[in-house]
Structure 1
């Protein structure tokens, strides 16, 4: 009889709903933008060109071989892992190495980050706000969605 009561109580208990998955991110930050945001030394949530240059110099000085004023691609990858969040993050050493000598100088790094700074500076006022450093994705598509997602996950031709 006790067993019957336990079964009745369990049957009457509401079934828990499956957890709702977190929606995909619609606000993204590029690795270079993360580094530029870290250059804000005075804490005013703005990054000026002078702060960018000083921040890059501080970050570059931590790279293995920076004392020689030039770092190789492996040292750059280690530096990118620390400052950009991943060894393979953009900008890649190939786009930073302006003279193709397989070494990266602070001047080359600054030149590339100047171009990125100019791209992020939407209102062209010479400083970056946090809003300028984030990317808003208008539409987010899941893998397998025929409107987007990874290339191999697309629906077969007849079902698109």
Structure 2
């Protein structure tokens, strides 16, 4: 009788369904969009142009002050990006921000880049970003086939 009970317990354990994996994310927030959302000073879930300007200046001032000269180098910018964008390699990257190519990033250059990003995210062009404007919705999860038997985004 004991072997029969052991067999039934083992069979029941192996018959339990495996957990269903969580589907991949299809709604994403770019690091620059998350930064712009954090610039919302009055907590009304909208980021205005004035809040963007003040947020960029507030976030970048300590890095510029620590550099002790006009602008920061690429390594100091990477540290700024790690703190404010979540990763040293997050976009916008230093080559994208350094408009004059002098290997230094000034507050004015960073403000210009975030102005361009703000304009890109501001879908209805009302001068304020909603949280809905700051998310990216993917049609398909990464790695899903494109209907022609190929993985989307990969060339063979």
TM-score (norm 2): 0.87
Q: How far apart, CA to CA, are the structure 1 residues paired with 2:89 and 2:69?
A: 23
Gaps of 5+ in 1: 155-160
Counterpart in the other structure of 2:53: 53
Within 5 A, what are the aligned runs for 1:10-29?
A: 10-12=10-12, 15-29=15-29
Q: Which has the higher strand share?
A: 1
Q: Which moved more, 1:4-13 or 1:120-129?
A: 4-13
Paired with 2:12 and 2:87, the residues of 1 have a C-alpha distance of 51
Distance 2:33 2:91 in 1: 10
**Structure 1 vs Structure 2 CA RMSD:** 2.1
Q: Please list the CA deviations of residues 24-57 of structure 1 after superposition, one character each: whole Å capped at 9, or x if unmatched.
A: 1111111110100000010000000110011101
Q: Which runs of 4+ in 1 moved over 6 A?
A: none
CA distance in structure 2 between the aligned counterparts of 1:123 and 1:89, rounded to whole angstroms: 26
SS at match of 1:128: strand
| Cross-structure match for 2:154 | 151
Deviation at 1:69, TM superposition (A): 4.2
CA distance in 1, matches of 2:154, 2:3: 54
| Aligned counterpart, 1:115 | 116
Aligned partner of 1:158 in structure 2 is none
Q: Is the 8 A contact 1:29 1:134 kept in 2?
A: yes
Per the normalisation by structure 1, the TM-score is 0.85
CA distance in 2, matches of 1:17, 1:62: 54
For residues 9-29 of structure 1, give each alpha carbon's deviation from its aligned partner in whole angstroms, at most 9, with x where no partner exists: 433567111121111111111
